Each structure stands twice: as structure tokens, then as C-alpha cells.
Amino acid sequence: MADTMKTLILKVDPKRPALAAIKKAAEFIKKGELVAFPTETVYGLGADALNEDAVRKIFEAKGRPLDNPIIVHIYSIEQLKELARKIPKSAFILAKHFWPGPLTMILHKRACVPKAVTANLETVAIRMPSHRIARLLCKHAEKPIAAPSANLSGKPSASSAKHVLEDFKGKIACIIDGGNTNIGLESTVIDLTAKRPVILRPGGITAEQLRKFLPEVKVHAVARAEKKASIAKSPGTKNRHYAPKAKLVLVEGPKEKAVAKALELAKQQSKTKKVALLIFGSKRNVGVKGIIVKAVQKKRDIGKRLFALLRELDTKGVEIIFANGIDEKGIGLAIMNRLRRASSKRIKVS
């Protein structure tokens, strides 16, 4: 794909989306072009899911490994039935409570879903987003939309149109700028083809929320990202991911101790390097000379700002980032998954 393509930027108010702009973007999808659009989680890089050539453009633009399957975004339960077969009851229960919303279900695919979308797997990932712009785009494209997060492969996901432009200006047909995304972390991916439903990637809907309706939900080891796991089940979970250019050192352990250790290490390194310190979930907000310090207290805010912070520190030329871990309750599991996978080094304190 030529790097010189003109990228049309359509500014759309998410509260009152202008239909003309949505229809324009939908035309690009119908023509087999790529459109980046906001969802409630992060920005997606969309293409007609039933058009193999269009789907290939996604892999090309992102530099995405061909063995990493893509989520298909839908607008209605009818579309779910067109794309998946042998849909278990559990899927309808979860759809009733969490769709539209940040939940992706892995189901057995029907033949109409191209292999390019599923990376040759017999299963397909499906999600019904709740963001008004995403919903309208799915509706007017009149096709399911295949969309990974709109970032270059391996980089932090995009929570604003500015981030999308950084990665894809001149490489895609269109970006719908609908402002900052609300959740900031990607959807929860749950596999419903196994005997017991299992979370492969923690995200916007927590394990606790899911268990209210399906008590048997398990969390797969890859979802905790404790080890560098490599499973065929969810290929997207195996490599270092969400990573800034800077080295990220994650300090885990009792919170205040972890913060103190991260601070100590940051001070040491700042003698020779450009250093940033991320303080999460702590009341402590220290100003340290020569170090860029960002403190975020509430878990929901950490989720919302995490990727944007990593990108911001990169643009500032930071070489090494120190961050403390937080507990894995609620959205904490998703935050720790992203932090561990973005990190190049992990340290434990006790």
C-alpha cells in the first residue's frame, strides 16, 4: 500500500453523530477501504469482514502477524447468527447482559467468515460495540466490520484520533475522529467453544461481572500474563505488546512498597537517562527533580489513560519508565495484563 494515500479525517460528535459523515465512512468500508473509528474501548481499524482483500489491508497497514485473528464487529443478533454456528446458551445470556458493550465472544465460525479474518482458525471473535459512532458505522456499512485496535502491531492501542494519525496517516482511507475513548482498554475476550467459558484477555467487562451470570467462568493463565505464554488459542496474547519505545520496568508487590521501589530505581537511573515514573493507585504523588512523574489513582482512570500516557512518554523521548503494579480485582486484572505485556522487565518486592 502506498504511503501517500490521502487520509480523510471526519470529525464527528459522539453525542450527536452527523449521519452524512457516518455514511461517507461506510462507503469506504463498502468499497473495501480501511476506516479507523472510535469504540467505547479503543479505536478500531475497520474493514468489510466478508471481503478478504479488504481484511488483508488491515494486516498490511498494522504490520500484524498473519496468525493473529481479528474481531468482527456487529450491529444485531441476526448478524451473530449469520457469522457463528452452534452458538451456546451462554452466548445469549452474555449478549443479553453485556451487549452492546466491551465483550468479545469466541464462537464456532460459519463458512462465510473468511479465513483471513480468523487466521485459519475454525472459530471467530465477535463483539457488538456500544459506542454510537461504531454502531452507526456497522449499521450503515451493512456488513460486519473486522477491526483490530488501530495501532501499529506491538504498539500501545489508540484512545484518540491523534494516536491513530500517528500510526496511520497516509496509510488508510479515513479516520472518524470521535474524541477520546471512554474505557481506554480493549474488550474482554471470552472463549465459549470450550467446556467451560474461559477469559483469554481481560478487558472492559470484569471476570466478577461475568460470573454474576455465568459462575463457571475461568480466567486463562494467558489472561494474567504472568509468564510469557504462547498458546495457539489466542495468538494475539503471545508477544510483547502495547509496548512503548521506552523500556518499561514494572515493580509488583504490596502497593506502597512497590511505589517506593519504583521511585528509588527511577532516581538512580535519572542520573544517566531520561526517566519517567508512573504511580498507580496510590495517594502518594511525589514531585522529583529531573523525573517526569504521572500519578493516577482510580483504577478506571488508569485504564482510561494508560495507553495515552505510554504514547505521551514516547513523544517526550523518555528512555526508561518505572511503574508500580496494582491488585487484580475488577478492571485491575486487565490493567495488570497490559502492564506486564508492555514491560521489558519485572521486579517483585515483598
Q: Which residues bind ligand TXA (CB under 6 A)?
A: 39, 41-42, 44, 68-71, 102, 104, 106, 118, 121, 123-125, 127, 147-149, 186-187, 189, 200-201, 233-237
Smallest distance, Å, CB 50 to ligand TXA? 16
Work out how close the CB of 149 gets to Mg ion at its nearest, in angstroms, rounded to a whole number.
Answer: 3
In the bound state with ligand TXA, the residue whose beta carbon lies nearer, of 200 and 248, is 200
Instruction: Write phi, then psi, for 149 (nearest 5 degrees).
Output: -65, 145
The binder of 225, among ligand TXA, Mg ion, none, by C-beta within 5 to 8 A per type, is none
Q: Phi and psi for 245 in degrees, rounded to 5? A: -65, -35
- Distance CA(325)–CA(72), nearest Å, equals 32
Q: How far is the CB of 159 from ligand TXA (least distance, A)?
A: 11
CA atoms within 13 A on the CB side of 288: 25
Compute the distance between CA of residue 151 and CA of residue 19 in angstroms, rounded to an integer.
26
Region binding Mg ion by CB under 5 A among candidate stretches 18-26, 49-57, 141-149, 173-181 = 141-149
Contact indicator for 307, 243 with CB cutoff of 8 Å:
no
Q: Which does 235 bind (CB under 5 to 8 A by kind): Mg ion, ligand TXA, none?
A: ligand TXA
Nearer to Mg ion, 149 or 159 (CB): 149
Residue 307 CB, shortest distance to ligand TXA, in Å, is 11
What is the C-alpha to C-alpha distance for residues 313 and 205, in angstroms, rounded to an integer?
28
CB atoms within 10 A of CB 40: 21
79 binds, among Mg ion, ligand TXA, none (CB under 5 to 8 A by kind): none
187 binds Mg ion (CB under 5 A): no
φ, ψ for residue 107 (rounded to 5)? Answer: -135, 170
149 binds Mg ion (CB under 5 A): yes
Are the CB atoms for 280 and 302 separated by under 8 Å?
Answer: yes
Q: Which of 303, 236, 248 is nearest to 277 (CA)?
A: 248
| Comparison of 70 and 260: residue with beta carbon closer to ligand TXA | 70
Residue 146 or 258: the one with the smaller Cβ distance to ligand TXA is 146
Q: Which residues contact 220 (CB under 8 A, 6 or more apart)?
A: 191, 198, 199, 200, 233, 234
Min dist CB 129 to ligand TXA, Å, is 6
Closer to ligand TXA by Cβ: residue 32 or 235: 235
CB closer to Mg ion, 59 vs 322: 59
Binding site for Mg ion (CB under 5 A): 149
